[in-house]
Structure 1
Amino acid sequence: MRVLRVIASMDPKYGGPCQGLRSSIPESAKLGMENEVVCLNDPSAGFLDKDDFIIHALGEGKGPWNYNPDLLPWLLSNILKYDVVIVHGLWQYYSYAVKLAFSKLKSNEKTSSGKFQPLPALYVMPHGMLDPYFQKAKGRRLKAIRNWIYWKLVEGRLINSAKAVLFTCEEELRLARESFRPYKPAKEINIGYGIVSPPEFNVNMDKAFANVCNLVEPSPYMLFLSRINEKKGIDLLILAYLRIEKESNIPIAKLVIAGPGLETDYGKKMRVLASESKNIIFLGMITGDAKWGAFYGCEAFVLPSHQENFGIAVVEALACGKPVLISNKINIWQEIIDCKAGLISTDNLTSITEMLSAWVLMSNENKKQMEKNALKCFEINFEIEQSVKRMAEAIFEQ
């Protein structure tokens, strides 16, 4: 079965959906799915050479809509070669181009030889982009109005015409029903989501992390690893950390904040905010051994995000046997609670402060047990094989 994945970008710095594809495509090949990707990246981009599956990079899109005039002609010429098309993500030109291509091809479902050739089955995987947060968040009023209009004209038609909408977890599926009307997908399927197990720890990981971080061993630290973005709740994390550091008599581990975006206005504000403490360390984006060294070396992973569909970095931390301190706006929070694999807060300063305090005050024995629970949580819920099997089952039913 030939499957075409349509996505905005395969650039690793955007994480999320493209990282999910890199995890799931090799695994799905074992189940008879021959996957190809079409994306809006420069075909000469270095990160494209590292993948073992076919990627059709058509060039960078333009503007906030990510428009690329070459995408629609490519789809019209190639889409009938596939049995299944899966659109990953919403709200940009590529999802509109897929809907337009299907509409054009549907009006002429005969080949030049006159033989009938059915269209491939169409699926949409929103990756959290139907979350009501984006319609309610402060500062997004104009974008929310724009999204309503766009939903009526484009995105709603795509969702409601797809064979099924695929979700990464039950919470994402539930929340997607709250944002827009009419919302009438033919079918909703929670296929889950997962990652490939991380490489086993080795000393090179410690060395690589030490090269990018000036921690003095054996200083314990908590790790934030994600984009430096307002949505991630970094300001609240820093304020909560400063409050505990000033008001508590109990030593608190250092806080390492790693990820792309330090050069943005928001990133610069966060560095100024954290300047009151010598124990908050900022790094840029870290990858490879340095990234895994950061995970394996931390005592806990922390992400008090205002919205997170899945949180791949959260799952990576679990896979490394690390407890996670997260907000209940990360859609896999219930799985964390069920496995006793971390602590959960709401996304406000008081609750985040209480969560960090609870971790600081927790006994070493309980922390060690939570480490074991974290690894079990990954194995039960987030290993890649499970989600790929569920996706294959959904697609093979067509």
Structure 2
Amino acid sequence: MKILHIIPSVAPIRGGPSRAVLEMVKALQRQGIESEIATTNDNGSGLLEVPLEQQVTYADVPVWFFPRLSPGIAAIREFAVSWSLTNWLQQHLYDYDLLHIHAIFSYPSTIGMAIARQHNHPYLVSPHGLLNRWSLKQQALKKQIYLKLIEQRNLNSSKAVHFTAFAEAQETASLKLIAPSSVIPLGITSPAVIFKAREKLRQKLKLSDSQPILLFLGRIHPKKGLDLLIPALANLRGYQFSLVIAGEGSPDYEQEVHRLIEYHNLSDRTYWLGFVSGVEKDIVLQGSDLFVLTSYSENFGIAVLEALAAGLPVLISDEVALSEVVRQHQVGYVTSLDIRHISEALNQALAGETNLQQMGDWGRQLILEKYTWDRIASNLSEVYTAILKREPIPTLY
């Protein structure tokens, strides 16, 4: 079995789905499933410095990079058009038994589905939250037209639609897709334990040992709900805490968040680390006290898994698809998209009404039991096999 994964970008700046695809392919290879990635050299407003139109090893997996058009118009750059990817896929489609398309509303994903559909070649699609209500409301008219003219047919012709959470599948039900669906979560690789991570993080930030650290880690994007979290933090009275923001976004939106922090008099409590990875990321996760993500929409929330794997309890909105898992296993707090409710949950966490350390231990155990990449790859393998053998698609794991 040979699988080609198509995704617009694997650049770290693109967030969870790009990281997840790389880890997914590694895990599939460990299962004995030959897997490769075809993508562009997209890197946000810039380009990745990688060899083009040849297979290279990137992040320990085989990847084909193709040049992305880079005009001055941001919307066209974001669409990630690549003529050479189109030509290559037309020539090499039958080198692969199955295509696994990641994301929609982007040129590489759309053209990958269209070529496979025209040649009656099997493919499945992972929308990665782009069919969720919040996402479809952004540039709503444009997406409605795109769906009607192109993407609905592409989706309906797929052999399966892969959702990462039951909540994501439920949100998509109104579209009345006819392709079968399967719910398989994303996975996580458990990090190495960092000795004295709490102490090392506080030394880096010049904070006292007793200072609680609240961590936001991820893309700095309007969807992430920082406009709710920051005023909710400002409502807290009588608590010492520091907010660490680890991630990157567009310069304009980062400035907007800076202004919001200044407006709410939280500048002296906020630490910006930028994009973190490797050991630095492990120290930040393992050295913090509470992970916070009051997002307007998350089809899954890979950063939530990363926090739990590090033994860090979480405070998330009920629009994060993992919220039911957090509630069920009591590994954190779930709040509505309301500043007062977020403040109440933060107050509960900082007041010590629950044992954060115990929550963190439960979260780490949950990851080890249910969210390893090897387990996820095994589930995906069953779906691939069912497609190729024309058998019923397994629906829920």
How does the TM-score come out when normalised to structure 1? 0.87
Q: Following TM superposition, by how much is the alpha carbon of 1:313 offset from its aligned partner in structure 2, in angstroms? A: 1.0
Task: Confirm or deny: 8 A CA contact 1:345 1:355 kept in the other structure.
Answer: yes
Give the C-alpha shift of residue 174 in structure 1: 1.2
CA gap of 1:212–1:368, structure 2 versus 1, over 3 A, is: closer
Superposed, which structure 2 residues align to 1:27-176 within 5 Å?
27-41=27-41, 44-45=49-50, 50-62=58-70, 63=76, 64-106=78-120, 119=121, 121-136=122-137, 140=138, 143-176=139-172
Partner of residue 267, structure 1? 254
Q: Give, as a single letter, the amino acid of the residue that structure 1 aligns with 2:218.
A: S
- 2:48 and 2:336 map into 1 onto residues whose CA distance is 42
- Alignment of 1:241 with 2:233, yes or no, is yes
Q: 1: distance between equivalents of 2:193 and 2:338?
A: 35
User: Do the aligned partners of 2:66 and 2:85 also contact (CA within 8 Å) in 1?
Assistant: yes
1-side partners of 2:269 and 2:4: how far apart?
47
CA distance in 1, matches of 2:196, 2:278: 13
**CA displacement 1:224-280 (0-9 Å, x = unmatched):** 111111111112111111110xxx23x23211111102x622211221222212112
Q: Partner letter of residue 221 of structure 2?
A: N
Output the CA distance in 2 between the equivalents of 1:38 and 1:211.
Answer: 42
Structure 2 counterpart of 1:81, which letter? D
Once the two structures are TM-superposed, the CA of residue 49 in structure 1 deviates from its matched residue by: 5.4
- Determine the structure 2 residue equivalent to 1:346: 336
Indicate the residue corresponding to 2:24 in structure 1: 24
Q: Which residue in the other structure is 1:396 paired with?
A: 385
Q: What amino acid maps onto 2:3 in structure 1?
A: V
Q: Give 1:61 deviation, angstroms.
A: 3.7
Preserved contact between residue 205 and residue 290 of structure 1 (Cα < 8 Å):
no
Aligned length: 369
Q: Which residue of 1 aligns with 2:295?
A: 305
Report the CA distance shift for 1:26/1:103 in structure 2 as closer, same or farther (over 3 A): closer
Asked whether the equivalents of residues 206 and 293 of structure 1 are also in contact (C-alpha less than 8 Å), the reply is: no
Separation (CA, whole Å) in 1 of partners of 2:115 and 2:169 = 27
The CA distance in 1 between the partners of 2:94 and 2:363, in whole Å, is 44
1:333 corresponds, among 323, 328, 345, to 323
How far is 1:320 from its partner?
0.8
String of CA shifts for 1:272-328, please: whole Å, max 9, x gaps.
Answer: 222212112222111111111000000111110111111111101100111100001
* Alpha-carbon distance, 1:366 to partner: 2.0
Alpha-carbon deviation of 1:68?
A: 1.3
Q: What is the correspondence of 1:183-222 to structure 2 with a 5 Å cutoff? A: 183-202=176-195, 207=200, 209=201, 213-222=205-214
Aligned residue for 1:284? 274
1:355, distance to aligned residue in structure 2 (A): 1.2
Alignment partners' CA distance in 2, 1:254 and 1:381: 32
Is the 8 Å Cα contact of residues 5 and 38 (structure 2) preserved in structure 1? yes
Q: TM-score scaled by structure 2?
A: 0.87
CA contact (8 A) 2:199 2:209 kept: no
Whether contact under 8 Å (1:258, 1:283) holds in the other structure is: yes
Per-residue Cα deviation, 1:31-70 (whole angstroms, up to 9, x for no partner) = 2211110001157339x75422211000124414221111
- Worse-superposed segment, 268-277 or 151-160: 268-277
Are the counterparts in 2 of residues 3 and 35 from structure 1 also a CA contact under 8 Å?
Answer: yes
Deviation string, structure 1 residues 161-207 (Cα, Å, up to 9, x no partner): 000011111111111113x3xx3332100122111111222358965
Residue 381 of structure 1 aligns with which residue?
Answer: 370
1:193 alignment partner AA: L
Instruction: Give me the whole-angstrom Cα distance separating, in 1, the residues matched to 2:153 and 2:12.
Output: 30
Change (3 A) 1:212 1:87: farther
Measure, in 2, the Cα distance between the counterparts of 1:185 and 1:206.
Answer: 53
| Conserved 8 A contact 1:271-1:282 | no
Residue type at the aligned position of 1:57: F
Deviation per CA, 1:71-102, whole angstroms, max 9, x where unpaired? 21111111100011000000011122113322
Segment of structure 1 superposing worse, 222-231 or 64-73:
64-73
Partner amino acid, structure 1, of 2:297? Q
In the alignment, which residue of structure 1 is the partner of 2:224? 232
Q: Give 3-state SS (helix, strand or coil) of 1:127's partner.
A: coil
Q: SS at the partner of 1:177? A: helix
Indicate the larger mover: 327-336 or 268-277: 268-277
- One-letter amino acid of the counterpart of residue 10, structure 1: V
Unpaired runs of 5+ in structure 1? Answer: 107-118
Aligned CA distance change for structure 1 residues 130 and 326 (closer, same or farther; 3 Å)? same
- Between the aligned partners of 1:163 and 1:103, the Cα distance in structure 2 is 10
CA distance in 1, matches of 2:142, 2:292: 33
Distance of 1:205 and 1:22 partners within structure 2? 29
Q: Give structure 2 stretches of 5+ with no counterpart.
A: 42-46, 71-75, 389-397
Residue type of the alignment partner of 1:59: P
Q: Which residue of 2 aligns with 1:116?
A: none
User: Do the aligned partners of 1:24 and 1:195 also contact (CA within 8 Å) in 2?
Assistant: no
